[in-house]
Amino acid sequence: MVDAPFLGEGVYLRFNLNDMVEVEEVFGTEWWMLALGRLEAGEREQTVPAKLVDHLLKVGAKKNGERVAVDIEALDLPRVYRPLMEAISLATAGVPFDDLVAKIQARAAKAEEELKAEEERRANPPKPDPSSKGSGSGPTAQGSGRTNSGG
């Protein structure tokens, strides 16, 4: 739950499971990534699609557990971007938005490190140890135990 007094006294933003299903029906299964990405970019650029903000506010703005009507025309829209990001992040990931971003960045950094390490291994494969050549540790045609009995 994210307090949103700029929407009215006692109003907060919160998305429960039914709310998220409703948003998914309009914006698709990846709605939360779309919304977070657009809202985060909007915070910098001061522009987010009004349809997205309007729908998120219709579904997520509540008072005493009930939805409340929000007049999007009367709002300073950039003011709602961060609270919406917080509410969506809490609903979908259980953590504040900045923590979610930090987790995603940490995962991306780890994946990048692993990819670089794998590329390095492929570019520089281990060289066979010349002292182990011919040690009899691997199967050979003669010592494989196979026979050709015709068949």
**Arithmetic mean of pLDDT, 7-21:** 94
Q: What is the pTM of this model?
A: 0.67
pLDDT grade, residue 60 (50/70/90)? Answer: very high
Cα separations in angstroms, 66 against 16, 59, 73: 11, 10, 21
Q: What is the pLDDT of residues 102-134, one digit of tens each?
A: 888 888 888 888 888 888 888 888 888 777 665
Q: Confirm if 70 and 7 have CB atoms less than 8 A apart.
A: yes
Mean pLDDT of the chain: 84
Higher-scoring residue by pLDDT: 42, 58: 58
Distance (Å, whole) CA 148 – CA 151: 8
pLDDT grade, residue 148 (50/70/90)? Answer: low
Q: Which of 93, 60, 53, 56 is CA-nearest to residue 77?
A: 53
